[in-house]
């Protein structure tokens, strides 16, 4: 599959901050890509309203009542919209086997801490920053990785470091990492699209 012009689908449960940055970068000509679809499992997700206003096709596929059916619908809708690469932007559900089978090796997530040390089940949001502070390490950061059936286990595509400063709290560290994530995702996708960064196999 040629990724010379990425055909992107997005998954978001909340604001979809990285998705917004990526879509805006595409519109500005900074990434040779097309935005094909944004899906949320949350009908009230701000990402849905933003995407509609931005002219991005949207769908809500709730996952609680019928997770298996939702998984099959998600995989089918992404394929129907021509999506080649899926980007998770704060999607708070584990992906199911249908989506993973159809898009294996083509689903990207950003994790707000170094992997593999600060990943795994239950390690999301502020919990990651609390664990980093508690460990007393000198650096945190963010990792963009491929998604598989286990939390945060997929191969790492790119990592970027952020210093842990004296007096940092989980809140201040979270703010610093969160501020760098969208641009980091934009730059990584641009490198993938331009062929200077390959996806792990």
User: Among all residues, which ones are annotated catalytic?
Assistant: 111
Q: Cβ distance 72 to 46 under 8 Å?
A: no
My answer on whether omega of the bond before 41 falls inside 30° of 0, hence cis, is no
Report d(CA 166, CA 180) in Å as an integer: 19
- Name the residue with tokens 């989980």: 170
Burial 36-50 (b: 16+ CB within 10 A, else e): bbbbbbbeebebbeb
CA distance 47 to 23: 12
The contacts of residue 186 (CB under 8 Å, 6+ apart) are: 21, 22, 25, 30, 31
Classify the C-alpha dihedral 94-7-196-27 as positive or negative.
negative
């Amino acid at each position: 599959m040629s990724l010379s012009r990425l055909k992107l689908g997005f998954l978001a449960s909340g604001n979809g901050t990285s998705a917004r940055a990526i879509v805006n970068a595409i519109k500005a000509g900074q990434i040779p890509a097309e935005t094909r679809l944004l899906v949320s499992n949350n009908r009230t997700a701000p990402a849905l309203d933003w995407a509609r206003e931005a002219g991005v096709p949207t769908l809500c596929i709730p996952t609680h009542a019928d997770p298996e059916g939702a998984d099959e619908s998600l995989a089918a809708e992404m394929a129907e919209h021509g999506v080649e690469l899926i980007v998770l932007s704060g999607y708070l559900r584990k992906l199911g086997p249908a989506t993973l089978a159809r898009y294996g090796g083509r689903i990207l997530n950003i994790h707000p801490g170094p992997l593999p040390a600060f990943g795994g089940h239950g390690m999301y949001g502020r919990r990651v920053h609390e664990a980093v502070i508690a460990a007393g390490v000198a650096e945190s950061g963010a990792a963009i990785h491929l998604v598989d059936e286990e939390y945060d286990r997929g191969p790492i595509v790119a990592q970027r470091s952020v210093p842990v400063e004296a007096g940092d709290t989980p809140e201040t560290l979270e703010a610093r990492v969160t501020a760098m994530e969208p641009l980091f995702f934009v730059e990584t996708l641009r490198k993938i699209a331009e062929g200077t960064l390959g996806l792990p196999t």
